[in-house]
């Protein structure tokens, strides 16, 4: 517990001396050497609550700078896989909230930048996984956190542009019919959650989506 609590403070210092891969190996080796007498369930809960904000912060910075995109997508895929398997836990809703605040906007921006590139599929999967985990309460918090109509408009334009590209471009192979249906379903549900804010704040003339 002491190690996990102090890890966020030393993470940045480790990155100044070692590469990301070396730090990752260090963390994996350290966690792997924990004594078997430790309560694994409790230990995992503690480690997630402490490490997740640190990991999300650095992924956010890397995506903003368009760095190590392949590594970031792999880490995100692992995070979403863990969250999916424990989706019944109450703490997961707080983790999803944290991921929405840290990742949603930068995921959208990343996809707008790389939609035609080979990494796009990985990030489409990450975006869909996040949107699928979001509840009505998550969308309510998201939409209420914008400080102005202009910020809200910018976000809505961004997410609708990504959705339009997903419907137009061939991101997944043609025989992935289930994935295509899932994508359409997530886009539909998300749009239903966003529509009230769109109609409440903007007229058709104000919202110049082209």
Assess contact for 8 and 50: CB atoms under 8 A. Answer: yes
Q: Round to whole Å and give the CA distance between 126 and 178.
A: 17
Tokens of 128: 């869909």
- Angle of helix 90-114 relative to helix 120-133, nearest 10 degrees, comes to 150
Tokens of 178: 């289930």
pLDDT at 73: 87
Q: Please, which residues have CB within 8 angstroms of residue 120's CB and are 6 or more apart in sequence?
A: 111, 114, 171
Assess contact for 172 and 183: CB atoms under 8 A. Answer: yes
Q: Round to whole Å and give the CA distance between 71 and 77.
A: 10
The secondary structure element, H or E, covering residue 125 is helix 120-133
pLDDT at 36: 45
Question: What is the 8-class DSSP label of residue 18?
Answer: S
Question: What is the 8-class DSSP label of residue 210?
Answer: -
Q: What is the DSSP string of 166-190?
A: HHHS--S-TT-HHHHHHHHHHHHHH
Q: Round to whole Å and give the CA distance between 127 and 43.
A: 28
Residue 169: how many CB atoms within 10 A of its CB? 12
pLDDT digits (tens, 9 = 90+) for 145-201: 998 989 999 999 999 999 988 887 666 667 677 888 888 999 999 999 999 888 888
Tokens of 208: 């110049």
Q: In angstroms, how far is the first alpha carbon of the chain from the final one?
A: 52
pLDDT digits (tens, 9 = 90+) for 60-103: 988 998 888 888 888 888 888 877 655 556 678 888 999 999 99
User: Rounded to an integer, what is the distance from CA 124 to the centroid of its chain?
Assistant: 10
Q: What is the DSSP string of 2-21?
A: HHHHHHHHHHHHHHHHS-HH
pLDDT digits (tens, 9 = 90+) for 16-65: 787 766 766 666 565 555 454 444 344 445 566 677 888 888 889 889 98
């Amino acid at each position: 517990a002491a190690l996990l609590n102090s890890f966020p403070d030393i993470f940045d210092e480790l990155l100044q001396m070692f590469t990301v891969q070396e730090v990752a190996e260090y963390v994996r080796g350290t966690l792997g050497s924990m004594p078997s007498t430790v309560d694994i369930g409790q230990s995992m809960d503690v480690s997630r609550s402490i490490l997740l904000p640190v990991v999300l912060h650095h992924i956010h910075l890397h995506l903003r700078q368009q760095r190590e995109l392949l590594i970031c997508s792999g880490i995100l895929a692992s995070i979403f896989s863990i969250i999916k398997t424990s989706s019944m836990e109450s703490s997961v809703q707080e983790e999803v909230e944290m991921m929405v605040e840290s990742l949603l906007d930068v995921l959208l921006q990343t996809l707008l930048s790389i939609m035609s590139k080979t990494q796009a599929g990985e990030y489409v999967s990450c975006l869909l996984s996040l949107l699928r985990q979001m509840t009505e309460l998550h969308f309510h918090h998201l939409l209420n956190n914008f400080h102005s109509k202009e910020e809200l408009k910018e976000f809505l334009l961004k997410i609708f542009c990504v959705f339009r590209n997903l419907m137009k471009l061939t991101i997944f192979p043609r025989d992935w019919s289930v994935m295509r249906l899932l994508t359409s379903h997530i886009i539909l549900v998300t749009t239903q959650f966003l529509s009230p804010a769109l109609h409440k704040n903007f007229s058709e003339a104000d919202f110049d989506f082209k």
